[in-house]
Amino acid sequence: MYDLIVLGAGPGGYEAAAYAGEMGRKVALIEKKYIGGVCMNVGCIPTKTLIHSAKVLQLLKEAENYGIKKTKPEIDYSRLQNRKKEVISLLIKGVESKLKRSGVEMIRGEGHIMTRNIVTVGSREYETKNILIATGSRTAVPPIEGIDSPEVLDSTDILNLDRIPESLVIIGAGAIGLEFAYFFNEMGTEVKVIEMLSDIACQIDKEITSHLLKSLKNKGIDFFLGSRVTKISNKGISYTREDGKTEMVKSEFILNATGRKPNLENIGLDEIGVFYDSEGIRTDLRGKTSVSGVWACGDVTGRCLLAHVATREGIVAVNNMFGGKDTMRYKAIPNVIYTSPEVASVGMTEQLIEEEEVDYKKNIVSLNLSGRFVAENYKKTGYVKILAGGRHNEILGIHMIGDAAGEIIYGAATFLEMEMSVGDIREIVFPHPTVSEAIKEAICQIK
């Protein structure tokens, strides 16, 4: 009898399994494909590896600005792909050793829930007190004529291309679409992005995304916003603009980056009566599903499709499973887009604050206030925007654009978790010279 069986070894599942294992619980982790999940194998990690190569290339192109005479950089795409594999395998080894250290039993295969206490893998049955469903998500396929054409790729396919495409149309300007747009554009591909909404990365503060849009356009990426793709054929991609006119673009490949959908099939949800809908498995803030003893975390719940959210949700569920009290809070979830310039944000956007009619103050400053930013970024711009409560100056949201943003946003998450105000943060010493000083400056200017 196990204390916990986890379905899915992504960042939600493997972290939860290891955590429960460290608590001394008897844990099994079932995975049918990848240890580390989409994130480590065909998501966050490989894309960040490729993007780093793009950033190196970008720096080489700009080397003269920093007093280094340039040599003409050349792309060795097979080395780039190999490095991606090396990074992945190194990190997977790390996960495997963590699981081993925590005493988690790894079971390879497809897990199927028979009852709330029995999970089968193939013909073998495993008995357990708790089940954590962490089966993740996959690329959603929108109902567009011709979406199944061979030139339409998803994020997994495009990572495995053995050459740089001449031209690429990306459907969807969310984080995934934008990161691939940045990467392939930097690699020399002609990139066009078609987005149904009138803004890119709609979950991010609009003032910040407008700077990102400008910056990506300056790099040569074409954007067609407020445009709906209607048909894909060998003639090209037809889309309808906001004004109702239909146009067509043609490219070597098409990337479907319209969104993701939860992996709900073949788990046994209907058999044991776990409540779910097309968005995902319904859970409460403790990770409980509608069936007692059955828990869920990560993308499969459809709450917030981010690896770090999945991890926290899994740990919250484990704590509650074994007698602790822990609740998921979603108000301080950091969000990063790994383009250059990088975007990072946490907390409420100005649009959300206005929608909820919260009394607020705002301040936006240039990252050029930071000595380090100026030293390291020749003629580049970046901003940090602070949103604070109107009465108590508590931090409501921090939104940044500029390289290094993703590395320092966790500090802002701390401010939000502790509900700190401008006055509290004035007392914190920030290292000099760093880009983070711009955050402090922006906060301290709020009266």
Residues annotated as catalytic (active site), given as ranges: 432
Which CB, 376 or 424, lies closer to other proteins?
A: 424
Q: Using H for helix, E for strand and C for coil, what is the string for the chain?
A: CEEEEEECCCCCHHHHHHHHHHCCCCEEEEECCCCCHHHHHHCHHHHHHHHHHHHHHHHHHCHHHHCCCCCCCCCCHHHHHHHHHHHHHHHHHHHHHHHHHCCCEEEECCEEEEECCEEEECCEEEEEEEEEECCCEEECCCCCECCCCCCEECHHHHHCCCCCCCEEEEECCCHHHHHHHHHHHHHCCEEEEECCCCCCCCCCCHHHHHHHHHHHHHCCCEEECCCEEEEEECCEEEEECCCCCEEEECCCEEEECCCEEECCCCCCHHHHCCCEECCEECCCCCCECCCCCEEECHHHHCCCCCHHHHHHHHHHHHHHHCCCCCCCCCCCCCEEECCCCCEEEEECCHHHHHHCCCCEEEEEEEHHHCHHHHHHCCCCCCEEEEEEECCCCEEEEEEEECCCHHHHHHHHHHHHHCCCEHHHHHCCCCCCCCCCHHHHHHHHCCC
Amino acid identity of residue 263, one-letter, is N
Nearer to other proteins, 396 or 435 (CB): 396
Nearest approach, Cβ of residue 387 and other proteins (Å): 14
Our finding on whether 358 is near other proteins (CB under 8 A) is no
Tell which one of 100, 214, 329, 432 touches other proteins (CB under 8 A).
Answer: 329
Residue 388 CB, nearest approach to other proteins (Å): 11
Residues 404-433 that bind other proteins (CB under 8 A): 417-421, 424
Q: Which is nearer to other proteins, 229 or 328 (CB)?
A: 328
User: Residues binding other proteins: what is the number (CB under 8 A)?
Assistant: 13
The CB-of-396 to other proteins minimum distance in angstroms stands at: 10
Among the listed ranges 26-34, 196-204, 257-265, 320-328, the one in contact with other proteins (CB under 8 A) is 320-328
Residue selected from 327, 358, 428, 432 as contacting other proteins according to rule CB under 8 A: 327
**Cβ-based nearer residue to other proteins, 256 or 319:** 319
Check residue 325 for interaction with other proteins (CB under 8 A). yes
**Window 129-148: residues binding other proteins (CB under 8 A):** none
In whole angstroms, the minimum distance from the beta carbon of 325 to other proteins comes to 5
Of the candidate spans 159-167, 263-271, 319-327, 404-412, the one that interacts with other proteins by CB under 8 A turns out to be 319-327
The least distance separating other proteins from the CB of residue 413, rounded to whole angstroms, comes to: 10
Q: In whole angstroms, how close is the CB of 200 to other proteins at the nearest point?
A: 31
Least distance from C-beta 312 to other proteins, angstroms? 12
Residue 7 near residue 13 (C-beta atoms within 8 A): yes
Site string for other proteins, 383-402 (x = CB under 8 A): ------x--x-x--------
C-beta of 235 vs 329, nearer to other proteins:
329
Q: Given the complex with other proteins, which of 73 and 324 has the nearer CB atom?
A: 324
Q: Which C-beta is closer to other proteins: that of 45 or that of 333?
A: 333
By CB under 8 A, the residues from 278 to 317 that bind other proteins are none
Q: Note the residues at the interface with other proteins (CB under 8 A).
A: 324-325, 327, 329, 389, 392, 394, 417-421, 424
